[in-house]
Structure 1
Amino acid sequence: MEYYGFVRHEIAPMLPAHADRVLELGCGNGATLAWLKANGRCNSTTGIEYSPDASSIARQHLDHVIEGDAEQIDLQALGQFDLILCLDVLEHLRDPWQMLRKLKQQLTPQGRIIVSVPNIRHHSILLPLLFRGQWRYQAAGILDQTHLRFFTQESAQQLLEQAGFQIEQCTGLGQQWAASRFWRWLGKLAWAKPFCSVQYILNGKIS
Structure 2
Amino acid sequence: MDYYGFVRQEIIPLLPEHAPRALEVGCGNGATLAWLKASGLCREAVGVEYSQSASQIAREHLDLVIEGNAEHIDFGSLGQFDLILCLDVLEHLQDPWLMLRRLRERLSERGVLIVSLPNVRHHSVLLPLLLGGRWHYTDAGILDRTHLRFFTRDTARDLLETSGFAIADSCSVGQNWSPSRWWRWLGKWRAAEPFCAVQYLFAARAS
Shared fold by TM > 0.5?
Answer: yes
Question: 1:198: which partner in 2?
Answer: 198
1:122-164 alpha-carbon deviations (Å, 9 max, x no partner): 0000000000100000000000000000000000000000011
Q: How far did 1:65 drift? A: 0.2
State the TM-score, normalizing by the size of structure 1.
0.99
Aligned to 2:134: 134
Query: Equivalent residue for 2:23?
Result: 23
Shift of 1:190: 1.0
For structure 1, the 5+ residue unaligned runs are: none
Shift of 1:181: 1.0
Q: 1:156-195 counterparts in 2 under 5 A?
A: 156-195=156-195
- Other-structure match for 1:35: 35
SS at match of 1:124: helix
Consecutive unaligned residues of structure 2, counting only runs of 5 or more, are none
Contact 2:120 2:152 in 1 (8 A): yes
CA distance in 1, matches of 2:2, 2:198: 20
Alignment of 1:96-107 (within 5 A): 96-107=96-107
Aligned length: 207
Shift of 1:170: 1.6
1:145 maps to which residue?
145
- Which residue is equivalent to 2:87? 87
Aligned to 1:61: 61
Using the TM superposition, name which of 29-38 and 185-194 deviates more: 185-194
Can you list the C-alpha shifts for 1:40-83, whole angstroms capped at 9, x where unaligned? 00000000000000000000000000000000000001111000
> Residue deviations 1:70-102, cap 9 Å, x none?
000000011110000000000000000000000
| Contact kept? 2:14, 2:170, Cα under 8 Å | no
In structure 1, what is the Cα distance between the partners aligned to 2:82 and 2:65? 17
- How far apart in 1 are the matches of 2:12 and 2:191? 26
Three-state SS of the structure 2 residue aligned to 1:177 is coil
Secondary structure of the corresponding residue to residue 20 of structure 2: strand
* TM-score, structure 2 as length reference: 0.99
Find the counterpart in structure 2 of residue 115 from structure 1. 115
- Determine the C-alpha separation between the residues in 2 that align with 1:153 and 1:84: 20
Per the alignment, residue 49 of structure 2 pairs with: 49
The AA in structure 2 aligned to 1:77 is: S
Tell me the secondary structure at the aligned position of residue 3 of structure 2. helix
Moved over 2 A (4+): none
